[in-house]
Every structure is written in structure tokens, then in C-alpha cells.
């Protein structure tokens, strides 16, 4: 305990008496972080987060080893003749970064009369004045050089060109994030400024909050350089989530400082007292949030590790900034704060607090009736897992182009099969069997294309190298399915089963196999991440309050809020991207458990000198509700800003769930938690007494042992040796 006081006293001395040095250090770190932020690469390929042992990653490694793994796309050129389309194809092949463009003239001569081209031959390539071509790039789907080639192709084709495919999805994703980040941050800042203006008593205090959080965000973004690269998801949402979640700490500190100032203390003494009063709550709240985020790092699908580390690191930077920089800024700008002081817009919360406590039985009855159905419903949600559902989400040009291509040519989903290059007969038989399946558009293999009796060496190398290389054959199978659906999964499983009947060793690469792997791995991750986040937060709360019962009570309202939040999409029939569902439950727990901790701290403090449990609960609500409503409103509104502004489904879904989850958590903490505290009141204090008694016994044993050792050493070397 003495050591804790010493640490707090050192912190106080630093931020009060050396605050000029603190400000200079932070200014230097901010400058370095701004530079570092521009050097952080952003990854848009979800398959890179699959574990190395997954079938898709093994297939990708094998393909890269023998064939490479270039980016691909499809383009439909509208309102063209066969001859115009052929001319466009030649111009497209000349674009820097484009390897090959496959079309009708790869299988026939378009300069023959159309009467000589059977409808069956050209229907997959040319229909109703629309030409459909497949593009293979020199580089990968998420390579900047591929993005440049896509831009050149779009400039070449103009309004006639309609693009779709993995490379297009990634390019769309990058462009969407780059275009949406500024309005998202602007909306977040505007929302926070308005909320803080209402709940503070100076026009300058919101500026101080945002300045402090802005410094923490810049430090976090710059420090991402140590991770090598970060995902598009972390890049897109980490800053605004950090801004919303970590605002609690600033609010706690400023409210504590204002309370100390109201006692008549000078500025520096008031800040010292405020830090002593608030540091424990701020640190414990920060640790629980970090634990919730770190749980994501244990996912096998490692985008969780990426996002978890980035957000946890952001909370740590926020803690340091609030505890070190913000006190210095408050003291520096105290004159400005006072100059722009205004009356409080927050009404008295006494009546509100009594009504919330009076409604506890009704709230409890509603929760008893809904918690089990909500738990069941949240496990029955429909999810989208693949990259296409993220980068080609509704509202983007890529999505519109995809729908237009499907209207004209139908659905197309490419599977790449890798099989041993041993028997041309076996390869031809497999190709023919696959091509006969009702849902297969085409199956292309070298042995299936070349007439029997013609040696492979007679064919051009640029053709054979695409399909045979290093003892392996590549077969391209086009399915008439979406890339992600139960039907697509069933078709892919049948293709896999047929292929495995021909070959003992084979690999499958494509959006659908990757999505199947993601689904299997993430479904397993969800339970583990949830369990670890709950146990981790409970452990921190248990150590903070010295009571196992308290840890359970603090968690219950938040977990019920999670169930209710996740049940809503099922009840409304909405599908979700997996990342929103998987990550928000941990985020909601880590971010909003602060509300429970704050109210519980006030309840225990009041109960220490108030015998009436009910009155203590009402006063705890009254003391906590402004901070909880402020923080909860910020998180709710920022979440909905993400949902409304972003066209990227993964980010929009996450924002929607964060906003709604914060609202549920806020309501349940203010209405349900006080009743739980009164119910387990005696158990809490008994647990604390036992905890303190054990701690005193351990301390007594340690002191006795230390005194014994001192006595032995003071008796001389002989006694010490004995």
C-alpha cells in the first residue's frame, strides 16, 4: 500500500512540478509519430490472417511456389461489337501491370462471321452487345501496382467498363477507407464536442478533451510501425474507437478535479487530490478495457491479434496521456477554462436516480423473461465471412458492377485446383466430370483442352506455364454460384470430393475455400475469445474490489447487454460480417465495464458511512450518471456515426453494434446493477473482510520472517551460519 502511495506521489510531482518537461516530451513524441504513421503499410487481404496450417494457406503457398499468385478481375464492356471488343482487349493487354486478358478470341476467331460461331461458344463471352473478359495482373490483388493498372483500365474503358473480382474488391476497399476516414473522424469529433459541451461547464473543456485524446491517437497510430503492418480494419476504426472508449478517463479526471476545486483548494493542490482520488479508478478501468482487447489477440484468425494489439496499445497510450499530459494542460489552461466558464446544462439527477432505482423490479422482470431467448437468438445470427462481403458491400461501385455483370452473364465463382501433373488421361477425365456438373460453367485444364496425341512441348510456353509447372497441374473451374453462400459451399465440397477421388494430394484456392476456412476457424475462436475476455475482466475486478461476488455482479449487466445487442440482428433478419460480431462482444465488455466499476466504487464509498443500502444505491446512481451518460452517449453516437457514414460493411456493422451495445450497457448499469449491489451487499463486505484478513496474515508472516532474519544477522556470522 505504501508503495502505491509512493508511485502516485511521484506521478503527482512529475505532472505538477515538471509539467513543462512533460509537455515537451509529448510534443517530440507526437512529431515522431506523425512521421511514422505515413510509413505503416496497410493490408487489405483477409487470407493473410488465416493460420499457416489452414488448407487455403497451404494451397496458396503451393500455388505461389509453382505458378505465382497474381491478382485477378473480370470486366464487362458494354455496348460494343465483337470487333470493338477485340480491339479493347489488345489495348487492355498493353496496360502496364496487366499480364493477360482472356476472352472469346482465346478460343476462336472473332473475325469469322458470327454465323460460324455457335451460340454455345460465345454466350459466356459475348451477349447482347456486352463482352466479358478475364484479367490476370502481373502482381497480387492488393499490390499498389495492380491498383494503378485498374485505374488505367477504368480510364481506358470509361463508362463502358464494369469491373468485379478480388483485385477490384481490394482496390474498392482501400479507396473507400481513404475517402471515408476524414468524414468518420469529423463526425466523431463533432459528436464528442456536442456531448461534452452539454455535460461540462466551460466552452474550452471539450477542446482540452479532444486535444488530449488527439495526442493519444497520434501516438498510437505512429507506434503501429513496430507491428510491421496493420489491417484495413485497424486502420479504419482504431482511431475513432480509441477516441470514444478512452474519453472516460479524461471525464473521470476532470470531474474529480472540479470536485476538489469546489472545496476551495488551489489549482495545484486540487490537481494533486484529484489524481489521488481518480488514478485507481482510471487505471483499473483501463486495465479491464485492455484485457477485453487483448483477448482478441488469442484468435487463430490473426486479424483479431492485429486489431486487439492496436486497440489495447491505444488504451495504454490514452492512460499515459490522461495521467501525464492532461493534468499539465488543465493547469496551463486553467485561466482559459475559467474565462469561458458557463452554467451547467445538466439538470439535477436526484429525481432521475430515484426513478431508475424504483424501476429496478420491472427491469429485472423484463430481463428474466428476455435473457434466455436473447442468448439463444444471438447464437443463431447469419454471418458473412469472405473478403467480397467486405470490399464489395452494398453502396459501392464494385457492388453495382457485380450486380450488372450477373444480370447479363449470370453468377461466376472461380476455383483453382492444384493436382499432381502425372497422368494426362486422369486429368482429362477429372476435367470432363467436373464440366458435366450442372452448376459448373467451365473447367479448364491443359490436358482437357489439348487434343489427344499432341505433345505438350508443341504448345507455346506462355500457355503451358499457366496450367502445368513444377510437377503440378492447375485446373480453373468456374461455378454458377455466389462466392459466399450455403449453395456455393455445397458445390465446392462436391468438387473437392470428386477431385479427391482422383488424387490423394490436391489443393483448392479461391474465395469460397478461403471463406469456408475463415468460417470454421472463426466459429471456434468466438467461444474462446469470449470466455477469456470474461475471465480476464472478472479477475481484474475481483482484485480491484477484493470480492469474487463483486466480480460476478459487475459483469452480469454488461453480459446481458451483449446478449441483447447481438440478438437484435437475428430478430430483424439482418446478416452481419463476422468481424463485427466476433470483436464487438469483447469490445463492449472491455469498454463499458467501466460504467459498472465507476458506479460500484461510488456505492462502496457511500455504504461505508450510510447504513441504508437503498439510499446508497440511489446516491451512487446520482454521482455516477453524468459520467456514465456522457461516456455512453459518446460511444453510442460515435458507433452510429461509423454505421451511417461507412459503406464498408465490416466497419458499418461494427459501428452499429458498438453504438447499440453501449446504449444497452448504459441503461442496464444504471437500472439493474444497483439492485444487484443491494442484493449481494453483505456478501461483498464479507468477501472484502476475508480478503483483508488474509492479506494482513500474509503481511504479519512476512514481517515476522523479516524480523527473524534481522535478528539472526545482528547476532553475528556464527548465528547466521547456524
Tell me: the pLDDT tens digits for 19-39?
889 899 999 999 999 999 999
Q: Is 59 part of a structural domain of the chain?
A: no
Separation CA 262–CA 245 (nearest Å): 28
Separation CA 363–CA 357 (nearest Å): 10
Residues 87 and 164 in one domain: yes
Helix, strand or coil for residue 73?
strand
Q: Is 119 part of a structural domain of the chain?
A: yes
Res 366: pLDDT = 93
Task: Report the chain's mean pLDDT, rounded to a whole number.
Answer: 82
Residues 445 and 492 in one domain: yes
Residues 213 and 325 in one domain: yes
pLDDT reading at 494 higher than 70: yes
Separation CA 485–CA 344 (nearest Å): 54
Among 198, 224, 254, the domain-final residue is: 198
Which among 354, 356, 303, 287 is positioned nearest to 654, based on CA atoms? 303
Q: Is 392 part of a structural domain of the chain?
A: no
Q: Is 265 within 8 Å of 273 (Cβ atoms)?
A: yes
Residues 290-323 pLDDT 10s: 887 888 888 888 888 888 899 899 999 999 999 9
Mean pLDDT, range 678-700, rounded to an integer: 70
- Which of 44-53, 389-398, 548-557, 654-663 is predicted least confidently? 389-398
Helix, strand or coil for residue 341?
strand
pLDDT reading at 77 higher than 90: yes
By the 10 Å C-beta count (0-12 exposed, 13-18 middle, 19+ buried), 4 is classed as: exposed
Mean pLDDT, range 347-355, rounded to an integer: 87
Residues 221-276 pLDDT 10s: 999 999 888 888 888 778 888 887 787 788 778 878 888 888 888 888 888 888 88
The model's confidence at residue 219, banded by pLDDT at 50, 70 and 90, is very high
Res 538: pLDDT = 83
Instruction: Please provide residue 702's backbone torsions phi and psi, each rounded to the nearest 5 degrees.
Output: -65, -45
Q: Is 477 part of a structural domain of the chain?
A: yes
The domain of 264 spans: 1-39+200-341
Which among 300, 59, 187, 53 is positioned nearest to 652, based on CA atoms? 187
pLDDT reading at 3 higher than 50: no
Q: Is 517 part of a structural domain of the chain?
A: no
Question: Count of residues for the chain?
Answer: 722
Q: Looking at mean pLDDT, say which of 110-114, 398-402, 508-512 comes out highest.
A: 508-512
- A 10 A CB-CB count for 257 gives 25
By the 10 Å C-beta count (0-12 exposed, 13-18 middle, 19+ buried), 129 is classed as: middle
pLDDT reading at 600 higher than 90: no
Find the CATH number of the domain harbouring 452: 3.30.70
Q: Is 271 within 8 Å of 323 (Cβ atoms)?
A: no
- Which of 363-367, 627-631, 652-656, 704-708 is predicted least confidently? 704-708
Residues 163 and 118 in one domain: yes
Q: Is 15 within 8 Å of 264 (Cβ atoms)?
A: no
Q: Is 82 part of a structural domain of the chain?
A: yes
pLDDT reading at 110 higher than 50: no
Among 469, 484, 509, the domain-final residue is: 509
Residues 563 and 429 in one domain: no
Which residues fall within 8 angstroms of residue 104, CB to CB, at 6 or more apart? 82, 85, 110, 117, 121, 122, 125, 126, 131
**pLDDT above 70 as % of the chain:** 87
Number of domains in the chain: 4
Among 475, 509, 543, the domain-final residue is: 509
Beta strands in 445-588 (DSSP E): 468-469, 472-479, 507-509, 576-577
Residues 139 and 227 in one domain: no
Find the CATH number of the domain harbouring 239: 1.20.1640.10
Cell numbers found for residue 409: 452473364
Residues 176 and 249 in one domain: no
Separation CA 326–CA 275 (nearest Å): 11
Q: DSSP letters of 640-680?
A: HHHHHH---HHHHHHHHHHHHHHHHHHHHHHHTHHHHHHHT
Three state DSSP letters for 595-627: HHHHHHHHHHHHHCCCCCHHHHHHHHHHHHHHH
Separation CA 114–CA 116 (nearest Å): 5
pLDDT reading at 116 higher than 50: no
Mean pLDDT, range 141-158, rounded to an integer: 90
Q: Is 113 part of a structural domain of the chain?
A: yes
Report which of residues 173 and 60 the model is more confident about.
60
Residues 359 and 336 in one domain: no
Residues 484 and 438 in one domain: yes
Residues 325 and 359 in one domain: no
Burial 506-519 (b: 16+ CB within 10 A, else e): bbbbbbbbbbbbbb
Separation CA 689–CA 639 (nearest Å): 41
Res 388: pLDDT = 59
Res 119: pLDDT = 46
Residues 562 and 700 in one domain: yes
DSSP code of residue 384: E
The separation between CA 133 and the C-alpha centre of its own chain, rounded to angstroms, equals 35
Separation CA 8–CA 2 (nearest Å): 10
Residues 372 and 298 in one domain: no
Q: Is 404 part of a structural domain of the chain?
A: no
Res 342: pLDDT = 83
Report which of residues 647 and 86 the model is more confident about.
86
Amino acid at each position: 500500500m505504501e508503495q502505491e502511495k509512493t508511485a502516485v506521489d511521484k506521478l503527482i510531482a512529475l505532472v505538477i512540478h515538471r509539467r513543462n518537461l512533460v509537455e515537451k516530451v509529448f510534443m517530440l513524441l507526437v512529431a515522431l509519430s506523425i512521421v511514422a504513421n505515413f510509413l505503416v503499410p496497410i493490408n487489405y487481404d483477409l487470407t493473410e490472417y488465416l493460420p499457416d496450417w489452414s488448407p487455403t494457406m497451404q494451397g496458396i503457398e503451393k500455388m505461389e511456389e509453382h505458378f505465382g499468385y497474381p491478382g485477378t478481375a473480370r470486366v464487362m464492356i458494354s455496348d460494343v461489337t465483337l470487333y470493338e471488343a477485340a480491339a479493347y482487349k489488345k489495348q487492355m493487354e498493353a496496360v502496364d501491370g496487366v499480364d493477360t486478358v482472356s476472352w472469346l478470341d482465346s478460343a476462336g476467331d472473332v473475325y469469322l462471321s458470327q454465323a460460324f460461331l455457335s451460340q454455345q461458344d460465345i454466350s459466356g463471352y459475348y451477349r447482347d452487345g456486352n463482352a466479358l473478359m478475364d484479367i490476370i495482373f502481373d502482381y497480387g490483388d492488393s499490390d499498389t501496382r495492380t491498383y494503378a493498372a485498374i485505374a488505367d483500365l477504368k480510364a481506358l474503358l470509361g463508362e463502358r467498363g464494369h469491373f468485379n473480382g478480388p483485385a477490384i474488391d481490394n482496390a474498392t476497399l482501400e479507396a473507400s477507407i481513404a475517402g471515408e476516414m476524414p468524414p468518420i473522424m469529423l463526425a466523431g469529433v463533432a459528436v464528442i464536442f456536442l456531448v461534452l459541451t452539454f455535460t461540462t461547464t466551460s466552452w474550452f473543456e471539450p477542446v482540452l478533451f479532444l486535444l488530449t485524446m488527439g495526442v493519444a491517437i497520434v501516438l498510437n497510430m505512429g507506434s503501429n510501425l513496430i507491428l510491421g503492418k496493420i489491417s484495413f480494419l485497424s486502420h479504419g476504426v482504431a482511431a475513432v474507437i480509441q477516441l470514444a472508449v478512452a474519453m472516460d478517463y479524461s471525464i473521470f479526471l476532470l470531474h474529480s478535479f472540479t470536485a476538489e476545486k469546489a472545496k476551495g483548494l488551489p489549482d495545484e493542490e486540487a490537481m494533486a487530490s484529484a489524481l489521488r482520488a481518480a488514478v485507481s479508478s482510471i487505471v483499473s478501468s483501463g486495465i479491464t478495457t485492455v484485457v477485453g482487447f487483448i483477448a482478441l489477440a488469442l484468435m487463430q484468425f490473426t486479424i483479431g491479434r492485429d486489431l486487439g494489439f492496436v486497440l489495447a496499445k491505444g488504451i495504454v497510450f490514452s492512460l499515459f496521456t490522461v495521467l501525464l499530459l492532461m493534468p499539465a494542460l488543465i493547469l496551463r489552461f486553467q485561466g482559459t477554462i475559467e474565462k469561458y466558464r458557463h452554467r451547467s446544462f445538466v439538470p439535477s439527477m436526484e429525481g432521475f436516480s430515484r426513478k431508475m432505482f424504483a424501476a429496478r423490479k420491472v427491469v429485472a422482470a423484463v430481463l428474466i423473461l428476455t435473457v434466455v431467448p436473447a442468448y439463444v437468438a444471438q447464437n443463431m445470427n447469419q454471418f458473412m465471412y469472405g473478403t467480397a462481403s467486405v470490399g464489395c458491400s452494398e453502396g459501392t461501385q464494385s457492388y453495382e458492377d457485380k450486380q450488372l455483370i450477373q444480370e447479363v452473364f449470370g453468377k461466376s465463382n472461380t476455383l483453382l485446383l492444384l493436382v499432381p501433373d502425372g497422368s494426362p488421361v486422369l486429368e482429362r477425365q477429372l476435367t470432363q466430370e467436373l464440366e458435366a456438373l450442372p452448376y459448373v460453367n467451365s473447367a479448364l485444364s491443359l490436358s482437357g483442352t489439348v487434343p489427344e496425341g499432341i505433345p505438350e512441348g508443341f504448345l507455346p510456353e506462355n500457355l503451358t506455364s499457366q496450367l502445368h509447372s513444377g510437377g503440378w497441374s492447375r485446373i480453373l473451374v468456374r461455378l454458377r454460384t455466389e462466392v459466399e453462400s450455403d449453395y456455393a459451399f455445397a458445390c465446392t465440397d462436391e468438387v473437392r470430393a470428386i477431385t479427391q477421388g482422383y488424387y490423394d494430394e490436391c489443393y483448392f484456392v479461391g474465395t469460397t475455400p478461403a471463406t469456408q476456412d475463415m468460417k470454421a476457424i472463426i466459429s471456434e475462436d468466438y467461444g474462446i475469445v469470449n470466455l477469456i475476455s470474461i475471465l480476464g475482466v472478472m479477475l481484474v475486478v475481483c482484485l480491484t474490489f477484493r470480492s469474487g461476488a463483486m466480480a460476478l455482479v459487475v459483469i452480469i449487466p454488461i453480459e446481458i447487454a451483449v446478449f441483447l445487442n447481438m440478438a437484435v440482428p437475428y430478430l430483424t433478419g439482418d446478416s452481419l460480417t463476422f468481424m463485427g460480431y466476433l470483436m464487438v462482444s469483447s469490445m463492449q465488455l472491455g469498454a463499458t465495464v467501466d460504467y459498472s466499476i465507476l458506479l460500484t466504487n461510488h456505492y462502496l464509498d457511500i455504504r461505508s458511512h450510510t447504513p441504508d443500502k437503498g439510499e446508497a444505491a440511489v446516491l451512487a446512481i446520482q454521482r455516477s450518471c453524468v459520467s456514465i451518460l456522457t461516456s455512453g452517449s459518446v460511444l453510442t453516437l460515435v458507433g452510429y456515426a461509423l454505421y451511417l457514414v461507412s459503406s464498408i460493411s465490416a466497419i458499418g456493422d461494427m459501428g452499429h453494434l458498438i453504438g447499440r451495445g453501449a446504449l444497452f450497457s448504459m441503461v442496464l448499469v444504471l437500472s439493474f446493477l444497483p439492485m444487484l449491489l443491494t442484493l449481494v451487499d453483505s456478501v461483498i463486505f464479507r468477501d472484502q473482510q476475508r480478503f483483508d484478513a488474509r492479506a494482513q496474515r500474509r503481511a504479519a508472516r512476512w514481517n515476522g520472517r523479516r524480523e527473524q532474519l534481522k535478528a539472526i544477522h545482528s547476532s553475528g556470522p556464527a548465528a547466521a551460519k547456524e
